[in-house]
Amino acid sequence: DTASALAAGCPVVFKAHNAHPGTSELVGHAITKAITDHGLHPGVFSLIYGPGTSIGQALVADPNIKAVGFTGSQAAGTALTRTAANRPEPIPVYAEMSSLNPVIVFEGALTGPTANIDALAQQYVAAVTGSSGQLCTSPGLLFAPTGDAGDKFAAAVNHAITTCAGQTMLTESIAGSWHTGTEALGSADGVTVLGQGADGQTHNAPAPAIYATQVKDFLTNEILHQEIFGAASLVIRYTTTSDLLDAITRLEGQLTATLHLTNHDYPTAAPLIPALEQKAGRIIVNGWPTGVEVGHAMVHGGPYPATSDTRTTSVGTLAINRFLRPVAYQNLPTELLPTPLHNTNPWHLNRLINGQPT
């Protein structure tokens, strides 16, 4: 958001996360140096420190602020969104709040040799435990088929997670939420522990945990839909395509949805795609959702509560649209037109002229 706001010509006030003040300071210095090197006004970037509840809310309420970007909890994002909507002049809030990033494993992906099944399980566990699971696209749900192939996959997941140790989480509060969330999930009806690693050697490094359940329990219990930020995930065993459609329909908005399949699974997977389009901003085949790229086709956003604004992305070239506003110039002489709109196209922009891209 900072990069796209600056690219759109907006000054940015950045509130550092209290959990990593040093990193914020380093990044802030790098941005300030770039601003100086390019001869921009030093006021285009400010870095400030303080508690989000007071300083964040005060910034969002300030009449000089015209748009807000945020990454964090659903409670904090919702509070900022409400503040922005209730200003005398309402402004947009781009809050990235929660996502379970469902992964669906089809039969075909489990039909190869055991080594392939083991590799898939290891990739899943790596995606769940990387950065201690503290990534917005960490897979919190995985749908695996019932039957032999699914059982083999579950056993491989158990094996892979058992050898993992906890990594330090960002703050004590985040680790506390992880404990509360996993306790609620682990004690929910129909949920069992599929496998758990070891506690880490450091402070706030709980043992990564993977749970298991059936589609029928997922459909009826709200607790199984709560994001647990950190190394925890839930494997849901399904039997039919209808199970998957029911589960997708029941999902809230997501940043990503992922399918693992071979060409034998295409007929089974095809009817799920239109349902997933309604629920996620990015649909991935035979990959893992962690990782984004700054490119033209990137969407890092999705329906509420993944983000507060479904129409945009926070990563990719389209992200600049968060901070732009269209203006029509009707009958203006060249002398009064902004330079980039001159007929000579001096900035070499891609343009639409009478509906044709030029």
Cα–Cα distance measured from residue 355 to residue 334, given in angstroms and rounded to the nearest whole number: 21
- Toward a second copy, which CB reaches closer, 126 or 332? 332
Q: In a 10 Å sphere around its CB, with 0-12 CB exposed, 13-18 middle and 19+ buried, how is residue 241 labelled?
A: middle
Catalytic position from the list 136, 164, 227, 293: 136
Give least dist CB 306 to a second copy, A.
11
Closest CA to 176 of 138, 227, 228, 213: 228
Give least dist CB 58 to a second copy, A.
19
Give least dist CB 137 to a second copy, A.
11
SS3 state at 266: helix
Residue ranges of the alpha helices (H) in 86-189?
114-129, 148-162, 172-186
Site for a second copy, rule CB under 8 A: 81-82, 85-86, 89-90, 92, 259, 263, 266, 269-270, 273, 277, 280-287, 296-299, 301, 303-305, 308-313, 317-318, 321, 324-333, 335-336, 338, 350, 352, 354-358
Backbone angles phi, psi at 233, to 5 degrees: -155, 160
Cα–Cα distance measured from residue 98 to residue 73, given in angstroms and rounded to the nearest whole number: 7
C-alpha dihedral sign at 328, 334, 339, 343: positive
Catalytic position from the list 10, 25, 89, 96: 96
Give least dist CB 111 to a second copy, A.
17
SS3 state at 305: coil
- Toward a second copy, which CB reaches closer, 187 or 330? 330
Tokens of 65: 């602020």
Q: E strands, 186-294, where?
A: 192-196, 209-214, 232-238, 254-260, 280-285
Distances (CA, A) of 248 to 18, 141, 252, 264, 340: 36, 11, 8, 21, 45
Give least dist CB 265 to a second copy, A.
10
Q: E strands, 157-305, where?
A: 192-196, 209-214, 232-238, 254-260, 280-285
164 counts as catalytic: no
Residue with tokens 């980039």: 340
Give least dist CB 103 to a second copy, A.
13
Give least dist CB 305 to a second copy, A.
8
| Segment holding 121, helix H or strand E | helix 114-129
96 counts as catalytic: yes
74 close to 305: Cβ distance less than 8 angstroms:
yes
**Active-site amino acid positions:** 96, 136
